[in-house]
Structure 1
Amino acid sequence: MQVFTKAVTFEEFIQQYPENSEVRYELHDGVIIEMPKPTGKHSTVTGFLIEELILTIILMGKRSLWTIPRESIIKPNNQKSGYEPDIIVLNQEVLSNEPRWEDESIIENAQSVKLIVEVVSTNWRDDYYKKRADYEEMGIPEYWIVDYAAKGSRNFLGNPKQPTLSLHWLVEGEYQVNQFRGDVPIISPTFSQFSLTAEQIFQTISLT
């Protein structure tokens, strides 16, 4: 993961972001970060979850209302960061209130977001610490951390560490968390028709 040490503003970051780049970048507290290239397992888990979330959206009758864009940038309240989530589910009913969405794929309002998913890679601290705090402050209603390789610390995953899906949902401005492992069904406040277990998600990597 490459770090560009010169501090920049969010606007400078957006202006410098190369179009059609094969490399993903994020802005963390004014510093541009070149994100690690996804591994095959990371891509498999992410792709599987996108497919399952789309099926769930259809089952819930939200096909014309909720969408998963190919890419987007989240602008947190601190004005010094910009994240590109692995998966984001947007509410098309309120996207007209996002002045920068149509031309720049930038999301600034939590009301536009139904769910953010981060699939953990080598930079796991960003998902568990920084992004969690920023998404909470921003008011993102639901946030999943999918740690299929148990890379997070024992503070989060227990001892011994186990692959875990940590589901955060906003209650009175603060995240509550439920952790799912093994064959326990995942219960989502937003996606009531989502019926998989954590093991069903994690076992997809054994097929690659």
Structure 2
Amino acid sequence: MTQTISKPISFDEFVAWYPENASCKYELHNGRIVEMPLGTGTHSNITGFIALKLGVQIDRYELPYSIPGDCLLKPLDDESGYQPDVIVLNKGELSKEPRWQKESVIMQGSSVRLVVEVVSTNWQNDYLKKAGDYELMGIPEYWIVDYLGLGGRRFIGDPKSPTLSVYQMVDGEYEVMQFRGDDQVESLAFPELQLTAKQIFDN
């Protein structure tokens, strides 16, 4: 990742700075603008596959959700802003989001049904920073798709292997379930989903 500005800035400054029609994505990490590299072919395929499978569920069961093309997620602190690989929004809550229509900014966990992050080389952000921020926001479900098994052993075990970690909110805290190989993925947001970890990783 390449940092583009050296001095710490706030979330509002980041939104104002964000280039229109940018050719790549940026996030704000602890007050620093970070350029997000383009995903590899496999990373991109997995992201698209998940969005497709979830979109089919939304359509088939007429769920009140949407998957936006672009979305900036603001955690509770004022020094971060994330662009998840896939985010599923609760359409009924978007009217309570004051910055959604003009800036595609989501500030309330109640507006989010599911966040998906596909792990790249900087896996610590997904397992440590983002998991903590999404939990504090009250986002009910968060997937970490670690298709290369890059995460620390304390997160995915030893020996490391491709792992899908599904964090679900229980009494205000995340509990995690992990899926590998032919394990059937379990999702609160999409209870009818028929998908194995291997089907996701094989893209």
Q: What's the TM-score once normalised by structure 2's chain length?
A: 0.97
- The code of the aligned residue for 2:200 comes to I
1:161 aligns with 2:185: no
Note if contact 1:29-1:81 (Cα within 8 Å) is conserved in structure 2.
Answer: yes
Tell me what 2:65 maps to.
Answer: 66
Q: 100-109 or 151-160, which moves further after superposition? A: 151-160
- Report the CA distance between 1:202 and its aligned residue: 0.8
SS at match of 2:202: helix
CA distance in 2, matches of 1:202, 1:182: 9
Q: 154-163 or 138-147, which moves further after superposition? A: 154-163
CA deviation map 1:149-178 (0-9, x unaligned) = 111111112111110100001111110000
Tell me what 1:188 maps to.
Answer: 187
Matches within 5 A, 1:2-151: 2-3=2-3, 4-62=5-63, 65-151=64-150
- The code of the aligned residue for 1:178 comes to M
Off by >3 Å, runs of 4+ in structure 1: none
CA distance in 2, matches of 1:199, 1:127: 20
Percent of counterpart pairs with the same letter? 52
Note if contact 1:59-1:193 (Cα within 8 Å) is conserved in structure 2.
Answer: no
Note the residue ranges of structure 2 that are not aligned, 5 or more in a row: none
CA distance in 1, matches of 2:104, 2:140: 20
- The code of the aligned residue for 1:167 comes to V
Tell me what 2:177 maps to.
Answer: 178
Q: How many correspondences in the alignment?
A: 202
CA distance in 2, matches of 1:154, 1:36: 25
CA distance in 1, matches of 2:105, 2:192: 28
CA deviation map 1:50-92 (0-9, x unaligned) = 0000111123221xx2100001000100121100100000111
Note if contact 1:89-1:114 (Cα within 8 Å) is conserved in structure 2.
Answer: yes
- Report the CA distance between 1:195 and its aligned residue: 1.0
CA RMSD in angstroms comes to 0.9
Note if contact 1:36-1:122 (Cα within 8 Å) is conserved in structure 2.
Answer: no
Note the residue ranges of structure 1 that are not aligned, 5 or more in a row: none
- The code of the aligned residue for 2:31 comes to G
CA distance in 2, matches of 1:97, 1:131: 23
